[in-house]
Structure 1
Amino acid sequence: MVASAVTRSLAGVLLAVAASVGVLSGTADGAVKRVAADDGAKITAEHWIDARTVDLTVRSPALGASVPVRVLVPRTWKRATKASWPVVYAYHGGRDTYVSWTRSTDIAKVAAAYDVMVVMPDTGWAGWFTDWWNGGKRGTPKWETFHTKELLQLMERNYHAGTHRATMGVSSSGYGAVKYAARHPGMFAYAVSLSGILHLTQTGVPALVMFEASEKYDPFRIWGIPGIDDKNWKANDPYELAAKLKGTGLYLASGRTGLPGAHDPAGGEPVELQEVVCGATTVAMVDRLRKLHIPVTAHIYQKGYHDWSTWQPEMHTAWPLMMKAIKAKKLS
């Protein structure tokens, strides 16, 4: 009986240690109990890549599908605690995946210097950070609902993500980061857009984004038909929502020419027209914010590709601004 009690005690200690350092893996109905989101969204699988990196699978009613999420936890993170941590929600752009930030930047190293969590969810091949219009019927997919309701609740209820939040994105996800901050005032203390589409209804831009979406979807399903469903387009346009960004810290960066910059590899495209468009919308957004007397840190540069080679150094500049805004302490 004594040996059995000791064995049970030792097993309990080992389980607690494993949980605290983050080496448990399995499904939601396994060793680790999960709490669902209000609408029933739940974490169905958890796989630890290393002591600080975990990949989750989320079954989302808002999307009508299961999608992956990558999370970086800080060195001080423990599963069994009442503490919470400030968090950065970092989104990937179109044609990319939830692993893009850890694959294409040194975000894991940068984040490790701070007591902060980083959540990198799937955003769809071209989900466009929007609860789709679907001819006015709405319904799935609801990307905005997934990111701003389901995911936040799951991270806060199961992984101790706090309410001091920042959001960051590149390209189409730069649009998503700023749009979410504007449509949900107070949800994010800081928003970062690197080469984002920040004026969705600017002349020529609707055609561009619909052309990109049309490679995989009926583009009219997302925001509706321009000219007919303009109210919905404007309701999802960061430029039109700019006044709601008062009180949110902002870092907006983009190139103007699409020419290769100092950080870009040789032998690339002579001009990246996508960056020209993103630069034009970012300039329009910065001008709009300044007319509204809303503080914004802007870096509008002439040369630089629409690529991670340019975005990584911009992330390094924006990072300490985000950390200050969400009160993330620097670790020794």
Structure 2
Amino acid sequence: MKGWAALAAAVAVLLGGCGLAPAETGPGVAGARVVAREKAGERGQDLTVRSPALGRNTPVRVLLPSGWTHGSGPWPVLYLLHGCCGAGHLGWVDEGGAERLTAAMPAIVVVPEGGRVGFYSDWLRGPRWETFHIKELIPLIEMEFGAGAERAVAGLSMGGLGAMGYAARHPGLFRAAASFSGVLDTTGDQAGVRRLVRENGDDPAALWGDPERDRKVWEAHNPAQLAGRLGGMPIYVSCGDGRPGPLDPPGAAGDYEGALLGQATVFAERARAAGARVTTDFYGAGTHTWPYWERALERALPMLRAAIGA
């Protein structure tokens, strides 16, 4: 490994600090490793990561701060988690304004893949997304990019479950967490979760099992049930009520955002009762769409940046 480190450092010098390392790196912590990378715009790198937890390769977009070079750091880190069923992790960049909103932020931004309906969990029978994100990806980003221990996590919809679930299930790992239109009470909407998994071609029982027989598994992945673990943490929770609002096009119809507002309210009340420093933005009219999540990220960033010293 010492020989590899010396070679990597030499290549980095030859590249003049442009941010691109060799296409294939050495073994990562817990066995995850970068097997390919491409430059993506001025700040980005698209990584292909070989994950033992997933048993396959998976993509990750990394946005690097101004002044980043190999060997610099440690840098604060913001992890952005995507929702289900749509554009995947690049939605945050292509539709959510992540690159623009974080352009002046002195921190690394990591946008990982989480599966169409991965629910940021180790499935009972299937992918191990939580193991990949927590035990493989975080150490890998530290090794590859000089990321430090000042971390925040934010997510939309299914990613809101991921952000709050990861923060609660791994105390001390993140300094702050944010949820935008998040799925924050899964036991309150078991049928909805199971329907999403089924409609996307997977077996609902393979995720967290049967809602009754495996109740403890469901509760262990339910942010509302875990809110008591968030005492002292700054958290941000935003949601609309499903009515067409100011960021919707003319003629837009209402949607199910209002059901998520009920979940967000329950979660926020429990987190506040546990001593979390909760900021809520229940902004009224607004649908389950990207314009509201872009605005939510912009509104949440001051708190997230302050928490990680960025």
Q: TM-score range by the shorter chain?
A: over 0.9
1:311 aligned residue: 293
Question: Residue 223 of structure 2 corresponds to which residue in structure 1?
Answer: 238
In the alignment, is the contact (CA less than 8 A) between 2:163 and 2:178 conserved in 1?
yes
* Deviation for aligned residue 1:291: 2.7
- Three-state SS of the structure 2 residue aligned to 1:303 is coil
Q: Aligned partners of 1:293 and 1:192: how far apart in 2?
A: 16
Equivalent in the alignment of 1:263: 247
Matched, 1:156 2:142: yes
Aligned equivalents of 2:178, 2:205: Cα separation in 1: 27
Deviation at 1:97, TM superposition (A): 1.3
> Is residue 97 of structure 1 aligned with residue 88 of structure 2?
yes
Alpha-carbon contact 1:87-1:162 (below 8 Å) kept:
yes
Partners in 2 of 1:166 and 1:13 — Cα distance? 32
User: Are residues 1:125 and 2:116 paired?
Assistant: yes
* Residue 200 (structure 1) shift: 1.1
Q: Please say if 1:222 is aligned against 2:207.
A: yes
Return the offset for 1:251.
Answer: 0.2
| 1:188 aligned residue (156, 174, 190) | 174
Deviation at residue 26 of structure 1 after TM alignment: 5.2
Gaps of 5+ in 2: 1-8
Q: 2:131 aligns with which of 139, 145, 149?
A: 145
Q: CA deviation at 1:293?
A: 3.4
Match of 1:107 in 2: 98
In the alignment, the residues of structure 1 paired with residue 268 and residue 307 of structure 2 have an alpha-carbon distance, to the nearest angstrom, of 20
Q: Among 13, 18, 24, which residue is 1:16 paired with?
A: 13
Report the RMSD for the aligned CA atoms in angstroms: 1.6
| CA distance in 2 between partners of 1:18 and 1:187 (Å) | 33
- Cα deviation 1:24-74 (Å, max 9, x = unaligned): 36521xxxx434122x11110110123311000011111111100000000
From 72, 75, 88, give the equivalent of 2:78. 88
Paired residues of 1:260 and 1:304 also in contact (CA < 8 A): yes
Rounded to whole Å, the distance in 2 between the matches of 1:133 and 1:271 is 35
AA matched with 1:63: L
Percent identity over paired residues: 38
Instruction: Output the CA distance in 1 between the equivalents of 2:103 and 2:12.
Output: 25
- Output the CA distance in 2 between the equivalents of 1:115 and 1:44: 27
Deviations 1:146-191 (A, max 9, x none): 1111000110011111110000100110110000000001111010
Among 298, 302, 309, which residue is 2:280 paired with? 298
Shift of 1:110: 1.8
Give, as a single letter, the amino acid of the residue that structure 1 aligns with 2:29. A
1:114 is displaced (CA, Å) by 1.5
How far residue 225 of structure 1 moved from its aligned partner, in angstroms, is: 0.4
Deviation per CA, 1:91-149: give whole Å up to 9, x if none: 11112312111101222122111211100000001101010012xxxxx4110001111
Q: Highest CA radius of gyration, 1 or 2? A: 1
Cross-structure match for 1:323: 305
1:66-85 alignment to 2 at 5 Å?
66-79=57-70, 81-85=71-75
TM-score (normalizing by structure 2)? 0.93
Q: Say if 1:233 and 1:75 are closer, same or farther in 2 by CA, change over 3 A.
A: same
Where 1:20 maps in the other structure, the secondary structure is: coil
Counterpart CA distance in 2 for 1:294 and 1:82 is: 33
- Write the deviation string for residues 186-211 of structure 1: whole angstroms up to 9, x where unpaired: 11101010000111111xx0100110
Contact 2:194 2:204 in 1 (8 A): yes
